[in-house]
Amino acid sequence: MATSNARPSRPRAQLKTPKGTRDWVGWDLLLRDHIFQTVTDVFKRHGGIPLDTPAFELKDVLAEKYGEDSRLIYDLEDQGGELCSLRYDLTVPFARWLAMRTDVQHIKRYQIAKVYRRDQPAISRCRLREFYQCDFDIAGVYDPMIPDAEILRIIVEVFRGLQLDITIKLNHRRILDGSFAVAGVPEEKNRLISSAVDKLDKATWIDVKKEMVEEKGLSGEVADRIGEYVRRSGGLREMINLLQSDPRLDANESVKAGLDDMGLLVSYLEVLDVVDKVSFDLSLARGLDYYSGLIYEVVPASTNSLGQIGSIAAGGRYDGLVGMYGKHPIPCVGLSFGIDRIFTILDARRNKSSSELTREVDVYIVAAGGKEYDGLLLDRMAVARQLWDAGIRAEFTAKVKPKLPPQFNASKDVPLAVILGQDELAAGQVRLKNARAGDKETDQKDRDQLVSREDLVEEVKKLFPAVARERE
Amino acid sequence: MATSNARPSRPRAQLKTPKGTRDWVGWDLLLRDHIFQTVTDVFKRHGGIPLDTPAFELKDVLAEKYGEDSRLIYDLEDQGGELCSLRYDLTVPFARWLAMRTDVQHIKRYQIAKVYRRDQPAISRCRLREFYQCDFDIAGVYDPMIPDAEILRIIVEVFRGLQLDITIKLNHRRILDGSFAVAGVPEEKNRLISSAVDKLDKATWIDVKKEMVEEKGLSGEVADRIGEYVRRSGGLREMINLLQSDPRLDANESVKAGLDDMGLLVSYLEVLDVVDKVSFDLSLARGLDYYSGLIYEVVPASTNSLGQIGSIAAGGRYDGLVGMYGKHPIPCVGLSFGIDRIFTILDARRNKSSSELTREVDVYIVAAGGKEYDGLLLDRMAVARQLWDAGIRAEFTAKVKPKLPPQFNASKDVPLAVILGQDELAAGQVRLKNARAGDKETDQKDRDQLVSREDLVEEVKKLFPAVARERE
């Protein structure tokens, strides 16, 4: 404040990104692109169609969709005109789009984009206020659990592509609601109790019970009966049998309907080679209001080196959401990948030998010479033009008369160097130096050769056959 | 209002995106991705390093960077904590990042991301409030005009990659400022007069003069002298000669310095094969405050079918901006592509035979059968699993017992169909149908063949050799 009083007309801006946000640069972004590419390939393999919605929506569109979490929504300032908020997830914008597009009765859509939450940031646990989500949803009237099974199959394919071992925790909203009813929870407290139960992956049962009784007004007995149910987990078939053998649960219509779904699901997951990755976990509740059927969360199979990183993908069925916007109800099931958490896991196992800012260049063009050396700038430019025209990645030092050491320094991460000298140029030649061949026992010729200007592109492509194929 | 009074607890949200924004879906997005891919390839070819910054910055970071246009900045509501604004461009966030990273003395960075401006939207002219920018900047102390020439070369490579014929309009801030001084413009009015001159591509000289005299308080004589200068344009060498031959201009230090730069530039652009694309246009002013040297705008070489679409890329040198944040000044030159306008041009020449929502799937799995047909759901799933495991894009109808017509309808944009029948399955076989072979004179076998389940993947890959190579 003192500073801005002293120079009121020009307060110097604080040099930081806003709380809970960060910059990404260089190799980090290339790794993130690799994740996006892997995920997108799987989405397309399943017939996915891309969608991109604005970063902000009308405030009303987001209203009453997120329960307690609505307080985390970023609003835009009222500068005249419409009231808008930054999107909180990609599901509600998708539902809004679907509700607008009355010509679309079914779609598999995917979207990869940033979302915004005014949560308490915790960078070490990858909880940021701006983060990527990456969603795949199947909308349409289909037979029960077929799209749900495909979503779980997609999870398995994505993490197989990323070479990451995972467990999918499953539950069903109707089984959860039904068992709450059997335990004696009043219906209007279902969502409150759900959100307490959902904390069981991070908190102890003692704490969760305390929250139910002291904050949410449940009796201790009812809480204990909930505890009996929700602390169970195991394989799908095993858990279905266990729940069906409980006469109180089996008598509840909601539980029964959920168990019918789970029975279908297990037969599909067996055929799709997914069942081994799945755990039926009755404590899984998912905080969001709009889920209506199957719900799931993905956690790494081993978290030893990374501590509690939380779920790396999650989703569920939400049959009522699109209908909230009008006369075009359409059942949906979907999935969201937590890209930043997946990034953190893959980043931890990356080889960190090159610097964050290393660029991917194929050729560095170097000027060398004796007393009458003038920097050969136009010659370096002419060679660069020749290489760029052929799609080869090339750089040179943007100085008229650069010395040799800074040029070699700038070329040190670059596999090939083209070295220009006055005499060679006069003879129509340049020197091609292969840094990669340096450590192996190769011909002198492979490491360092004189080539004519006309053959240069050809020679470079010989050394990068893949590059040449890809970029032509 | 009546509706929300009638049901105050649940106003139905308006079904639209906020003013000036839109959704993107399907083929539109695939075309946009093609543009991003082309641009990114060129950026990497020139040693570019990717950067991604948050969608919002501290409000102070954006303050006093955009002159009159600051009123177009979107602010976030003050919900406690820091005051933030949505980014207006990618240049200021890059300058903020550079100022923070005192370890970085030079970099070529690129960024592709959405920016936000509360402008009057005009969708027909591609002026939206949320739109993509796609920036490449070279930061660092280098010899004059070498990075500037490379930026112009990048423009040419990108539009060559997109097969779009363009003209680059060039000017130099110091020539502009110097000729204003010679004409008699008081220095403090330079930026005001600049922004008036900048309108000459859309408005007549009469209107621009009127703005200068009536709104900006210039005398008619001074305005006329400006008019003499700024209405000139032509080839680079020709214009340099013309300006040097004017003794009043040639006596001005600022004009002289600018012309020295332009002289260097033309020799570089000749070697880089860019000079034919360039027009030296003294009316080009660029609205933004931070430009300090060369400035440029790219327009399509022919706009006949599209009307006035405006510039499709633009940029310039901004040597002072990074220094505004602290003690780490660093000269920069950069470029921003107007992705949405480029999209509009490419979209207009696209073949619109397939629907917006067509997906890219290789194989559709169809169940067929007679009286005892049960839908073969688990068999369809098993075949899908087999194809997905091999990276082949495959779909089936998510119904237990689908009829044939809807299955064939769903498969109509898909090149291959795998048809399952009870008898063939019992013999370990499926029928493979190639829709693409249909219209040509090919063997019956190419169109429709029985293959064993074990050979299915192999047979599909034979029909898609490129697919098989790419996805393995």
Q: What is the pLDDT of residue A198?
A: 85
| Partners of A335 in the β-ladder | A136, A315
Judge: B104–A377 Cβ closer than 8 Å, yes or no: no
Residue pair B134/B36 in contact by the 8 Å Cβ criterion: yes
Q: Per-residue pLDDT averaged across A255-275, rounded? A: 96
Name the residue with tokens 């293959």. Answer: B451
Q: Per-residue pLDDT averaged across A214-239, rounded? A: 91
| Partners of B289 in the β-ladder | none
A chain contacts of residue B30, beta-carbon cutoff 8 Å: 50
B chain contacts of residue A84, beta-carbon cutoff 8 Å: 18
Banded pLDDT at B351 (limits 50, 70, 90)? confident
Q: Per-residue pLDDT averaged across A250-272, rounded? A: 96
Q: What percent of chain A has pLDDT over 90?
A: 67
CA–CA separation, A246 and A296 (whole Å): 23
Judge: B18–A147 Cβ closer than 8 Å, yes or no: no
Give the A window 5-24 contacts with B, CB below 8 Å. Answer: 10-19, 21-24
Name the residue with tokens 């019970």. Answer: A209
What would the two tokens of residue B352 be?
A: 């619109």
Judge: B16–A142 Cβ closer than 8 Å, yes or no: no
B chain contacts of residue A385, beta-carbon cutoff 8 Å: 153, 271-273
Q: Per-residue pLDDT averaged across B285-312, rounded? A: 80
Q: What is the pLDDT of residue B4?
A: 34
Decide if pLDDT at B355 tops 80: no
Q: Which residues contact A182 (CB under 8 A, 6 or more apart)?
A: A225, A229, A248, A249, A252, A255
Banded pLDDT at B9 (limits 50, 70, 90)? very low
Residue B451 carries which DSSP code? E
Parallel, antiparallel, or unpaired: how do β-strands A107-116 and A130-139 relate? antiparallel
CB of B466 within 8 Å of any CB in chain A?
A: no
Give the B window 326-365 contacts with A, CB below 8 Å. Answer: 326, 357, 359-361
Segment A296-340, tens digit of pLDDT: 999 998 755 555 678 899 999 999 887 877 777 899 999 999 998
Name the residue with tokens 């925790």. Answer: A169
Q: What is the pLDDT of residue B354?
A: 67
Decide if pLDDT at B303 tops 80: no
Q: How many CB atoms lie within 10 A of CB B63?
A: 15
CA–CA separation, B402 and B410 (whole Å): 11
Q: What is the pLDDT of residue A458?
A: 94
Segment B447-467, tens digit of pLDDT: 789 999 999 999 999 887 655
Q: What is the pLDDT of residue A219?
A: 92
Q: What is the pLDDT of residue B442?
A: 53
Banded pLDDT at A2 (limits 50, 70, 90)? very low
Segment A439-470, tens digit of pLDDT: 555 555 567 899 999 999 999 998 876 554 45
Count of A–B CB contacts within 8 Å? 261
Parallel, antiparallel, or unpaired: how do β-strands B332-338 and B313-317 relate? antiparallel
Residue pair A42/A162 in contact by the 8 Å Cβ criterion: no
Judge: A45–B388 Cβ closer than 8 Å, yes or no: yes
Q: What is the pLDDT of residue A8?
A: 39
Decide if pLDDT at B431 tops 60: yes
How close A182 gets to chain B, by Cα (Å)? 31
Chain A residue closest in CA terms to B108: A359
CB of A2 within 8 Å of any CB in chain B?
A: no
Banded pLDDT at B304 (limits 50, 70, 90)? low
Chain A residue closest in CA terms to B154: A388
Banded pLDDT at A348 (limits 50, 70, 90)? confident
* φ, ψ at B132 (rounded to 5°): -80, 140
B chain contacts of residue A52, beta-carbon cutoff 8 Å: 23-25, 29
Residue pair B334/B316 in contact by the 8 Å Cβ criterion: yes
CA–CA separation, A162 and A362 (whole Å): 27
CA–CA separation, A90 and A107 (whole Å): 15
B chain contacts of residue A23, beta-carbon cutoff 8 Å: 51-54, 97
CB of A139 within 8 Å of any CB in chain B?
A: no
Q: What percent of chain B has pLDDT over 90?
A: 67
Name the residue with tokens 């860019």. Answer: B274
- The answer to which of A205-209, A454-458, B64-68, B228-232 has the lowest mean pLDDT is B64-68
Q: What is the pLDDT of residue B13?
A: 64
B chain contacts of residue A58, beta-carbon cutoff 8 Å: 13-14, 16-18
Judge: A15–B99 Cβ closer than 8 Å, yes or no: yes
Q: What is the pLDDT of residue A1?
A: 32
- The answer to which of A210-219, A361-370, A428-437, B335-344 has the lowest mean pLDDT is A428-437
CA–CA separation, A416 and A472 (whole Å): 19
Segment B371-400, tens digit of pLDDT: 778 999 999 999 999 999 999 999 999 999
What would the two tokens of residue A339 be?
A: 């890209």
Decide if pLDDT at A20 tops 60: yes
SS3 content of chain B, % helix, strand, coil (to 5): 45, 20, 35
Q: What is the pLDDT of residue B1?
A: 32
Closest to A154 measured CA to CA, from A270, A273, A34, A260:
A273
Decide if pLDDT at A378 tops 80: yes
Q: Per-residue pLDDT averaged across A70-76, rounded? A: 94
ipTM: 0.85
Q: Judge whether B364 is annotated as a binding position.
A: no
Closest to A145 measured CA to CA, from A333, A337, A335:
A333
A chain contacts of residue B65, beta-carbon cutoff 8 Å: none
- Distances in Å between the alpha carbon of A106 and those of A109, A140, B156, B410? 9, 4, 43, 11
Q: Rounded to an integer, what is the distance from CA B286 to the centroid of its chain?
A: 19
Q: What is the pLDDT of residue A351?
A: 73
Judge: A157–B273 Cβ closer than 8 Å, yes or no: no
Q: What is the mean pLDDT of chain A?
A: 88
What would the two tokens of residue A269 be?
A: 């997951």
Decide if pLDDT at A352 tops 80: no
Q: What percent of chain B has pLDDT over 70?
A: 90
Q: What is the pLDDT of residue B306?
A: 54
Q: What is the mean pLDDT of chain B?
A: 88
CA–CA separation, A71 and A87 (whole Å): 13
How close A68 gets to chain B, by Cα (Å)? 16
- Helix (H, G, I), strand (E, B), or coil: what is residue A417? strand
Judge: B64–A325 Cβ closer than 8 Å, yes or no: no
Helix axes A220-230, A190-197, angle to 10 degrees: 60
CA–CA separation, B198 and B459 (whole Å): 61
How close B362 gets to chain A, by Cα (Å)? 8
